[in-house]
Structure formats: structure tokens, C-alpha cells
């Protein structure tokens, strides 16, 4: 097989007139109908929908916990193989003369902003505090809840959820798409990543189903991130004096607050998406990376610097040493401790794994879109190592400062008593005695949050349209960009209004399950393609599409 050229053409039927001109109606209409049915049902029958979705969600989190944990572990192993495989340093995501389109700074900025930037602003402060009070080490009696012996564990478990595993998931999806698109000339859509397994069969219903799974997972995955972001944005806007009507008495967003935030986010993201990756998205990503470094520098100077840096190095060390066990340990119930461990793993780790898998279609395709000209090894190391390290630094400095302020009594419960999205604002209030300077920092964080939200939303809209169009971009997509911008905003607003963030979480976990199977097949397809291409190169058999200038001759 490796002595024959690979498949270099995968036709995807698209419509040739009207609103769907250039788009696959089978994918676009089916995914739209599935999403619409779920949302309309949830809005029209909120109690029944909530009960049924919660039951499905509980079944998935309990029955497929082992699957999620092992498949996520497999993604990390595959990335490790590709980073160490000698051939991966020679194989380029493109042709011999292709060079990267974006600078390293813009590349890292865009991948980080699209990946986990939004959730990080919420959970970098909140999650270490939760883990400080409860985690598997506490449940097993190896550390005390809220004790000094549990500080490192709090960061170890946070690093597990936001570090290598998340980015390995994105790397698998992105590398598959980039490999088959730039080396084989295939359409940049999810079905292309499985071509070494199913070949030309992907032009038909099988390929349509894979792309539909990807669109549904993308919409519900980004809805999850935007749901957290809306809560935090409303909290921030209220804190800087842009409308007390945006929040209720308990600090949660009011209906007006949700609608205002959605209109702001999706309006800006749709305009950015229409402008394309090279302009709006790139510049927004650069801005949010610069603002992120500014906030980090502020915390490094004025925060709990020693505590945060100590937590970073100790947490990283323990995380890396324990990583094999962390990746593949599945807790079993049957005892009081076992049931508590199963509940914690389902509510935290398995939930995160479902979230990252739901995020993988849109982050992966976006990473592929911005990574042409880089080698396989450069892609894997760049996507997995650098953003993971930045996330760990964020959690250590932001979460460490908040934890230290509460432990010393300086915060007096102000941080722990705030909403998850409001914790970062409460922390800044404690750190900065001047009301005016505190207001300025809150305003800066609101701008940073807004850029992350817009970057995530516009990236998702572009990705959905690329998949629906059979892997191609162009001016014809502009009406669809506007349509999906409105649609994604509508999904988030509807689910937040009828069920809060819990409704979005439930829909996301359900939507992620079928795509997790697709991603497992991606790993096999990618390893098979890399192995066969190295043998083709050794035998002098072409393994890439012919360059345009040669084709013209």
C-alpha cells in the first residue's frame, strides 16, 4: 500500500444555486435541524427537556467515564509518539516550498485565544480554590481539605484539566486536518481526516455524518464557553458601572444582561468573522495576548508572587510525575470513598474531557487553518507544550493569589463569596486599595474577556461555515457567517434563559460523545498516514499533491 500514491481527491457534493450555493445541504440542513430541535424543545418544554437531558447526561457521565478517560489518554500518547518520531520532523504540513503564514507570536496568540482563553479567565481563579477544599487526594485521606498539605494537589488537578490533555485533543484534530489538507490537497473538513481509513466512501453519507457530528459538537462546545463568558462579562460590566440592571440580587445575570452580552459578543464576532482570519481574528488574538501578559505581569508584581511561583513549580513537578496515573486512573464505586471518587471524577475530569472533545472540531480546524508550512513535530510541540505552560502560569499566579489572600484572611471571604466569574474582579478589589485603579483594572479585564469571547465565537462561526461548505472559504459564505453568528447567539441565549449554564453543559456533554468516536478514529488514521508516507518517501513514491506550478505545466 505504501508503494502507491495516496488518495489526493475527495469530492464533496455541494449545491449550485440559491442560499446554499457552494454548501453541502446534507450537512448544513441536518446540523441546523438537530440544533434547532434541541433548542426549541428546551425552550418550549423546559421542565421535560431538563429532566430528559439531565438523565441522558448522567448516564453518559457514569457509563462512558472509562471511555472518555482512556480516549483522552490516547490523545496524549499519540502526540507523544508524533513529537518523538524522527520522521515527524521531516514531514511538513504542506509542500516543500511552503512557509508559515503567521509569525510565531500571532500563531500562539490565535491558538490560545480560540482554545481556552475564555474559560481560563473564570476558572484560573475559581478552580484551584475548589480543588483546595476537595479533590481525590482529600477523598483518599492523603491530604487535608483546606490544609497546607493540599496546596500542591489543588494545582496538580487544575493543571490536569487545563494542560496537556486539553491541548493534545486539539492537536490531534488540528494535525489530522492540516496533514490531509496541505499534503494531500483534500478539503479542510472533518471527513478528510479519516481518508486513510475509509477512502472515497467519505464523499457520501458516512462523510456527511462525520461533518454533522463536528458541527453539532462545535456549536454546543462553544456555547458552553460563551455561557461561562456571558456570566463573567455581565458581572464585569455591572462592576464598572454599565448597568446594575444586568444582574440579579444574587449576582447572576438577569434576562436583560444575558441578551445585552450576547448581542455585544455575537455582533462583534460576526463582523470579525466576515473580515477573515488574517485581519480581524489575528489582530484580536494579538490584542488579547498582550492584555493577558499585562494582567500576568501585574499579578507577578503585586500578587502573591512567592506563593504563586512556588505553586507553579511544585504543582508542575508533581503533575508531570503523576501524569501517567492521572491520565488512566478510573475510579470505581461500591464503597463510600469509591462513590465519592466516582462522583468527583464524573463532575470534574469527565466533564472537562467532554468539553475539550466538543471544542476539538472548531479549535482543531482553526489550528489547521493557521498552521500551513510547519512540520508535524513543530505543530505538536507548539500546540501542546506552549499553551499548556501558559495555562499553568495563569492558574498559579491568578489562582495562587486568590488562594493566598483567603488563607491569610486578607480577603475576608470576598473572593470565595463571589460568583465563579466574579472571583477575578473580587481578587483585584482586594489587591488594589484605590477605587479608581481597581475600576481601571476591572475595565481592562472586561476588555480582555470581550476579546477572548469574540475570538472564540468568530473562530467557531468560520469553522462551522468551512465544514458546511465542504472545506472551502470564500465571499459566498458571508450570508452563512451572519446566519450562524445569529444562530450560535440564539442557542446560548435560549439555553441560559431557560436553564442557566447547566442546560448548556448538558447539551455539550451529549453532543461530544459521538465525536469522541470520530476522534479515536482520527488517531488511527493519522498514524497510518504518517507511517505510510515515510515508506513512500523511502521508495521514491510521491506522498503529496503536485505543486500548482507543476500541475500547470
Q: Exposed/middle/buried for 320, CB within 10 Å: 0-12, 13-18, 19+?
A: middle
Q: Determine the Cα–Cα distance for residues 225 and 217; give it in Å rounded to an integer.
A: 12
The answer, yes or no, to whether residue 316 has pLDDT greater than 70, is yes
pLDDT score of 477: 64
Higher pLDDT, 279 or 446: 446
First to last CA, the chain: 28
Which of 307-321, 381-395, 468-482 has the highest mean predicted lDDT (pLDDT)? 307-321
Task: Give 488-512 pLDDT, tens digit per residue.
Answer: 777 777 777 766 666 666 777 777 8
pLDDT score of 170: 92
The answer, yes or no, to whether residue 348 has pLDDT greater than 50, is yes
Q: Determine the Cα–Cα distance for residues 25 and 319; give it in Å rounded to an integer.
A: 46
Higher pLDDT, 278 or 509: 509
Which of 106-115, 243-252, 391-400, 542-551 has the highest mean predicted lDDT (pLDDT)? 391-400
Higher pLDDT, 298 or 244: 298
With both helix axes pointing from N to C terminus, report the angle between 478-538 and 205-239 in degrees, rounded to the nearest 10: 120
What is the average pLDDT across 425-446?
A: 89
The answer, yes or no, to whether residue 550 has pLDDT greater than 50, is no
What is the average pLDDT across 21-30?
A: 87
Task: Give 177-194 pLDDT, tens digit per residue.
Answer: 999 999 988 998 899 999
What pLDDT band is residue 157 in, cutting at 50, 70 and 90? very high
pLDDT score of 251: 66
Q: Determine the Cα–Cα distance for residues 167 and 384; give it in Å rounded to an integer.
A: 5
**Closest Cα to residue 268, out of 283, 252, 289?**
283
What is the average pLDDT across 154-160?
A: 96
Q: Determine the Cα–Cα distance for residues 419 and 250; give it in Å rounded to an integer.
A: 9
What pLDDT band is residue 402 in, cutting at 50, 70 and 90? very high
pLDDT score of 551: 39
What is the average pLDDT across 349-364?
A: 87
pLDDT score of 325: 93
Task: Give 78-123 pLDDT, tens digit per residue.
Answer: 999 999 988 877 888 988 788 888 777 778 777 766 556 666 777 8
pLDDT score of 278: 46
Q: Please state the three-class secondary structure of 497-535 as a single string.
A: HHHHHHHHHHHHHHHHHHHHHHHHHHHHHHHHHHHHHHH
Quick one: DSSP state of residue 23?
S
The radius of gyration of the chain's CA atoms, rounded to the nearest angstrom, is 23
Q: Do 295 and 448 contact (CB within 8 A), yes or no?
A: yes
The answer, yes or no, to whether residue 1 has pLDDT greater than 60, is no
H or E element, residue 167: helix 164-178
Q: Which domains occur in the chain, in start order?
A: 32-552 (1.20.1740.10)
What pLDDT band is residue 553 in, cutting at 50, 70 and 90? very low
pLDDT score of 193: 92
Amino acid at each position: 500500500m505504501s508503494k502507491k500514491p495516496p488518495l489526493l481527491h475527495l469530492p464533496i457534493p455541494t449545491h449550485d444555486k440559491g442560499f446554499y450555493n457552494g454548501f453541502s445541504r446534507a450537512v448544513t440542513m441536518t446540523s441546523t435541524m438537530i440544533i434547532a430541535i434541541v433548542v426549541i424543545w428546551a425552550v418550549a418544554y423546559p421542565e421535560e427537556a431538563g429532566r430528559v437531558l439531565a438523565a441522558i447526561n448522567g448516564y453518559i457521565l457514569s457509563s462512558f467515564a472509562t471511555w472518555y478517560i482512556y480516549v483522552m489518554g490516547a490523545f496524549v500518547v499519540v502526540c507523544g509518539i508524533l513529537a518523538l518520531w524522527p520522521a515527524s520532523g521531516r514531514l511538513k504540513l504542506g509542500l516543500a516550498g511552503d512557509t508559515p503564514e503567521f509569525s510565531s507570536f500571532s500563531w500562539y496568540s490565535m491558538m490560545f485565544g480560540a482554545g481556552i482563553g475564555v474559560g481560563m479567565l473564570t476558572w484560573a481563579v475559581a478552580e484551584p480554590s475548589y480543588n483546595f477544599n476537595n479533590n481525590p487526594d482529600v477523598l483518599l485521606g492523603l491530604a487535608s481539605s483546606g490544609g497546607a498539605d493540599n496546596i500542591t494537589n489543588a494545582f496538580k488537578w487544575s493543571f490536569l484539566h487545563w494542560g496537556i490533555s486539553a491541548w493534545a485533543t486539539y492537536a490531534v484534530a488540528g494535525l489530522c486536518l492540516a496533514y490531509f489538507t496541505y499534503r494531500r490537497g483534500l478539503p479542510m473538513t472533518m471527513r478528510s481526516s479519516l481518508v486513510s481509513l475509509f477512502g472515497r466512501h467519505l464523499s457520501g453519507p458516512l462523510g456527511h455524518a462525520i461533518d454533522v457530528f463536528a458541527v453539532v459538537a462545535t456549536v454546543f462546545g462553544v456555547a458552553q464557553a460563551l455561557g461561562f463568558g456571558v456570566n463573567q462579562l455581565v458581572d464585569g460590566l455591572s462592576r464598572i458601572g454599565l448597568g446594575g440592571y444586568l444582574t440579579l440580587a444574587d449576582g447572576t445575570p438577569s434576562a436583560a444582561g444575558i441578551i445585552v452580552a450576547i448581542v455585544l459578543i455575537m455582533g462583534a464576532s460576526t463582523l470579525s468573522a466576515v473580515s477573515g482570519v488574517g485581519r480581524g481574528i489575528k489582530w484580536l488574538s494579538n490584542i488579547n495576548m498582550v492584555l493577558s501578559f499585562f494582567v500576568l505581569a501585574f499579578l507577578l508584581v503585586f500578587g502573591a508572587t512567592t506563593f504563586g511561583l512556588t505553586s507553579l513549580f511544585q504543582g508542575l513537578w508533581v503533575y508531570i510525575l503523576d501524569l501517567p496515573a492521572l491520565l488512566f486512573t478510573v475510579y470505581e464505586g461500591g464503597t463510600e470513598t469509591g462513590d465519592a471518587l466516582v462522583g468527583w471524577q464524573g463532575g470534574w475530569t469527565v466533564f472537562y474531557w467532554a468539553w475539550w472533545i466538543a471544542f476539538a472540531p472548531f479549535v482543531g480546524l482553526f489550528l489547521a487553518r493557521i498552521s500551513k508550512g510547519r512540520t508535524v513535530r513543530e505543530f505538536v510541540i507548539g500546540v501542546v507544550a506552549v499553551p499548556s505552560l501558559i495555562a499553568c502560569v495563569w492558574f498559579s499566579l491568578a489562582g495562587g493569589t486568590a488562594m493566598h489572600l483567603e488563607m491569610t484572611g486578607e480577603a475576608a471571604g470576598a473572593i470565595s463569596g463571589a460568583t465563579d466569574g466574579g472571583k477575578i474582579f473580587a481578587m483585584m478589589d482586594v489587591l488594589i486599595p484605590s477605587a479608581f485603579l481597581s475600576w481601571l483594572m476591572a475595565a481592562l479585564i472586561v476588555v480582555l474577556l470581550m476579546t477572548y469571547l469574540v475570538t472564540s465565537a468568530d473562530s467557531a462561526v468560520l469553522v462551522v461555515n468551512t465544514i458546511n461548505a465542504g472545506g472551502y472559504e470564500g465571499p459566498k459564505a458571508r450570508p452563512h457567517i451572519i446566519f450562524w453568528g445569529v444562530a450560535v447567539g440564539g442557542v446560548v441565549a435560549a439555553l441560559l434563559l431557560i436553564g442557566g449554564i447547566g442546560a448548556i453543559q448538558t447539551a455539550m456533554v451529549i453532543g461530544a460523545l459521538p465525536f469522541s468516536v470520530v476522534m479515536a478514529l482520527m488517531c488511527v488514521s493519522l498514524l497510518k498516514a504518517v507511517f505510510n508516507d515515510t515508506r513512500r518517501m523511502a521508495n521514491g513514491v510521491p506522498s503529496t499533491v503536485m505543486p500548482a506550478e507543476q500541475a500547470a505545466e
